[in-house]
Amino acid sequence: MENLFPIITIESDQTRDLKFIQLIMDNTGLSKKEVESIVGYNVITPLQLSLITGRGISAIQNLMRPLMTMNGFYTALDRVYPFKIFDRPGPVFIHFNKKCEDYIIKALKLKSKHGRTNSNHSGERER
């Protein structure tokens, strides 16, 4: 059976494509430095992914939920646990892998297609 609580070490990942960083900047209003600080590691939090894509946290969390298929468990976004708390997994993060990057690209292209941008970063809803 697949490990449902994969432990991972947080590592710097400076291999992100400049077009990818620019896509996020164009759709969020974040500076290059802010985007690089978010996507510069091999993990991302559900909140960070929500802010980048404009999708709700519950939508992000649903994509992290394992589904049982005929071939075993599947998740649209891979959950990882970089911090153990005693003998249990700690807080959940999203593995910033190809699946995550593809999800961001798809979400941002869909968002820009519908003319929505996310320039309000205060955490308040726009009125």
* Distant-in-sequence, close-in-space partners of 68: CB < 8 Å, separation ≥ 6: 74
Q: Rounded mean pLDDT of 20-46?
A: 93
Please state the rounded mean pLDDT for residues 36-61: 94
DSSP string, 99-112: HHHHHHHHHHHHHH
Give mean pLDDT, residues 91-101.
Answer: 93
Place 66 in a pLDDT band, splitting at 50, 70 and 90. confident
pLDDT computed for residue 103 by the predictor: 96
Predicted local distance difference test score (pLDDT) of residue 87: 79
Model pLDDT, residue 90: 82
* pTM for this prediction: 0.78
Longest dimension (CA), the chain: 47
Sign of CA dihedral 90, 95, 99, 104: positive
How many whole angstroms separate alpha carbon 30 and alpha carbon 21? 10
pLDDT at position 115 is 64
* Residue with the larger pLDDT of the pair 122 and 93: 93
- So what's the pLDDT on residue 1? 40
Sign of CA dihedral 67, 20, 97, 59: negative
What does DSSP say about strands 67-69 and 84-85: parallel, antiparallel, or unpaired?
A: unpaired
pLDDT (average), residues 62-91: 88
